[in-house]
Amino acid sequence: MGELRQTVQLDLRYSEWASRMLLAACSELPVVDRNRDLALSHGSVLGTLHHAFVSERFWTQCLLANKIPPLEQIGGTPTPTNVRLEDLEQEWPKVWSGLERWVASARDDELAQPLSCRISADNEFPYIRWQLVRHFVNHSTLHRGQVVGMIRSLGKRPPNVDLMSYLLKQ
pLDDT in tens, 107-155: 999 999 999 988 888 899 999 999 999 999 999 999 999 999 999 999 9
pLDDT on residue 2: 86
pLDDT on residue 71: 80
Q: Span 26-46, mean pLDDT?
A: 94
Phi-psi label, residue 76: left if phi above 0, alpha if psi -120 to 50, beta otherwise = left
pLDDT on residue 78: 72
| Residues 55-99 pLDDT 10s | 999 999 999 999 998 887 877 777 777 889 999 999 999 999 999
Count of other CB atoms within 10 angstroms of residue 4: 18
Classify the C-alpha dihedral 85-23-95-90 as positive or negative. Answer: negative
pLDDT on residue 97: 97
Kindly report the CATH number assigned to the domain that includes residue 126. 1.20.120.450
pLDDT on residue 70: 85
| Residue 44: pLDDT over 70 | yes
The b/e string for 44-56 (b: 16+ C-beta within 10 A; e otherwise) is: bbbbbbbbbbbbb
The boundaries of the domain holding residue 39 are 3-169
d(CA 163, CA 119): 32
DSSP string, 68-113: ---GGGS--PPPPTT--HHHHHHHHHHHHHHHHHHHHH--HHHHTS
Tell me how many domains the chain contains: 1
Closest alpha carbon to 140 in 8, 15, 7: 15
pLDDT band at 162 (very low <50, low <70, confident <90, very high): very high
pTM of the model: 0.93
| Residue 1: pLDDT over 70 | no
d(CA 82, CA 160): 27
The b/e string for 146-157 (b: 16+ C-beta within 10 A; e otherwise) is: bbbbbbeebeee
